[in-house]
Chain A
Amino acid sequence: MEENNNDMVIPDIHSFDQVLHRARQKASGKRTRAAFVVPSDVDMLKAFTKAVGDGLLDPTIIGDEELLKKNADEHGLDLGDSKIIDMNQPDMAVATAAQMAIKGGIDLIVKGRMANDDFLALLFARELAFFSRKKTACHIGVIKPERYPKLLFLTDAGVIIEPDLKQKAALIQNIVEFTGLVGVNCPRVALLAAVEVVYPQMPVTTEAAVLSKMAERKQITGAHVDGPLSFDVAVDMPAAHSKGITDSAVAGQADALVAPNIETANGIYTAMSLYGRAEVAGLIYGGRVPVALGSRSDSMENKYRSIVLGVIAST
């Protein structure tokens, strides 16, 4: 650990370059078996072929083969040794990838062009058993804003609309597992709210206080947890100090942010992607295999980062 930036603790792994380096190391042992579904998203196709070219993936592409080849030709993309399963119905492509994951045939799914909620609805189909009832699934976004010296892990911008207390505890657990895979140990998890004071009329603040206590009593382990914290207090040490919060392991130096609801997480994620000059990546964590996905208007580079994260998260 190195310390700077007004005493902020910066983990050894604090940039996407380092994450990519880790992914490369991992792939040098064994490439991640990845299935790309509905490949008509050209930016994601570019990102996917780049990851194939970088030797990260053992690739399968499930989708309309004719369209795939046309797109690849038009954009000069090399599909490498990709196995192609010709299937022009997106629903079937998703179900096929999920079944491959369940049978242990792939380690990662990469989502192409399909609305996130439609895609998730397919994966959540009970008969598919892609998600286990014992494990909470969530979206984890990873953000590296230009003006923050380390990675920020954000949940949940994609799966749970309004997590209750129990689900929030599970989200923290997922963050602990996921940051561990990335190489950030004992993350500093901020439970976000509009204020850093506990107000009974704001249930988000009382829940955050309860979760902090649960962490203090080791009902939640593997992370420093504090909340309620407002955004600036979570990530800006002077702001934390000016609000009188000086004894928190999290305030001013958060590694992870748990948002009170999906709108908030989604808003922060896209605000950072569009205006924070941030590098971002996202995936669905908690299923049989991780699912790499981008926000649909994400750049090719950010979609590539999502795949890299998926490589790291796959087992």
Chain B
Amino acid sequence: MEQKPIHSADELIRRAVALAGKGRKRTIAVAAAQDVDVIGAVSQAQAEGFLNGVLVGDANLIEKTAGEHSLDIGHLNIVDIKDVTAAAHGAVKMAAEGRADAIMKGFLPTSALLKVVLDKQYGLRGKNTLSHCAVLDIPGYHKLLNLTDGGMVVRPDPEQKYQILENAVLVGRALGLSPVKVAVSAAVDSFSEKVPHIHSDIDYVIPTAKKTLEDIVIQGPITFELATSKRGFEYKDETGLVVGDADIFLMDSIEECNLVAKSLIQFAQAVFAGVIVGAKVPVSLVSRTDTVKNKKASLALACLLADYYDRTKVWK
């Protein structure tokens, strides 16, 4: 069952296709699907055979949008619910009842969708806070790098930061990583008393992870350079199993993570797969500015994560 770890966006997509070929194709329910980018992404993923899409939303608008942009939705199921919030409930209910394995955001604000996902009646809450993982395939780096959290928690307290890490480790496991190598972000190389989060990282986040999470290696606080660069490693005489080889870079604010990830997407041609983790099903979102490949990789990641949840019964 165990497979080689996934180290690139292409491999991520290939693996999702292969999984579908083995009869483990995943179903994604789109909440308020009347959005051209979302319809395009799902229709393409379905055409490539790695997921079943269910478009929950205003059927008229969905068909009109698809028609205007020549998107093939012939193979997609449509559930006609016009009201946006009701459509979100419809999609989330499908996931709660096991008729969908993942949820995708359509034409509604992320916060509005997540409120429904966390609605107690659906029982999809996990024990952790929700967090966003930006899994980047950066040309020049030899593996995928999961930057977190650049989307959900503005300024995590130590407990939230640990939970964000735990969520990210789930993604690492779904990618087949063993061990999962975690670097905790720092502004400067040496221990600086002035960095506000340094004590809580050293006294709480890192020891809690070491104590609680199996099959991980964690090091920090270290800089992005040290976490991802062998060049830095050779130069700085640093030792540690994570230096130059991080799978996860755990950051301290939404700004740090979001901006560093976007700088890599913008100027380093990094391919980006994003997913919201912490609920019992993955929540996928794509944005207008995402490339076709980003969207595909994001959906593939949601499929692999959903499959991992199913295989391991991690939420049972």
Contacts and interface: CB of A to CB of B under 8 A. Distances in A.
A270 to B, nearest CB: 4
Given A115-B188, A147-B269, A161-B194, 18 more contacts: A117-B189, A117-B192, A161-B187, A194-B255, A194-B258, A202-B154, A242-B289, A261-B253, A263-B186, A263-B187, A266-B188, A267-B263, A270-B229, A272-B263, A274-B140, A278-B267, A296-B235, A296-B236
Interface of A: 115-118, 145-148, 161-162, 192-195, 201-202, 204, 230-232, 235-236, 238-239, 242, 259-264, 266-268, 270-278, 295-297
Contacts of B260: 264, 267-268, 271
Nearest to B194: A161
A104 to B, nearest CB: 31
A266 B225 CA distance: 9
A238 B229 CA distance: 32
B266 A232 contact: yes
Contacts of B188: 115-117, 262, 266
Interface of B: 138-141, 150-151, 154, 185-190, 192, 194-196, 223-225, 228-229, 231-232, 235-236, 251-260, 262-270, 288-289
Given A117-B192, A260-B253, A297-B235, A230 B262 contact: yes
A261 B255 contact: yes
B255 A204 contact: yes
Given A267-B260, A297-B232, A148 B267 contact: yes
A70 B272 CA distance: 47
Nearest to A266: B187
B155 to A, nearest CB: 9
A266 B226 CA distance: 12
A202 B232 contact: no
Nearest to A201: B154
Nearest to A276: B267
Given A162-B196, A230-B259, A264 B268 contact: no
A254 to B, nearest CB: 11
19 contacts: A145-B267, A193-B255, A230-B258, A232-B262, A262-B187, A263-B185, A263-B256, A267-B256, A268-B259, A274-B140, A274-B228, A274-B231, A275-B139, A275-B140, A275-B141, A275-B270, A276-B264, A278-B267, A297-B231
Contacts of B196: 161-162
Given A231-B262, A275-B138, A161 B267 contact: no
B235 A275 contact: no
Nearest to B191: A117
B256 A146 contact: no
A41 to B, nearest CB: 9
A231 B139 contact: no
A284 to B, nearest CB: 14
B236 A194 contact: no
A280 B267 CA distance: 13
A62 to B, nearest CB: 22
Nearest to B236: A296
Given A145-B267, A161-B196, A115 B189 contact: yes
Contacts of B151: 194
Contacts of B140: 274-275
Contacts of B190: 115, 117-118
A264 B225 contact: no
B224 A231 contact: no
Nearest to A295: B225
B236 A263 contact: no
Nearest to B260: A267
A277 B266 CA distance: 12
7 closest A-B pairs (Cβ-Cβ)? Answer: A231-B262, A267-B260, A194-B258, A275-B268, A145-B267, A276-B267, A297-B232
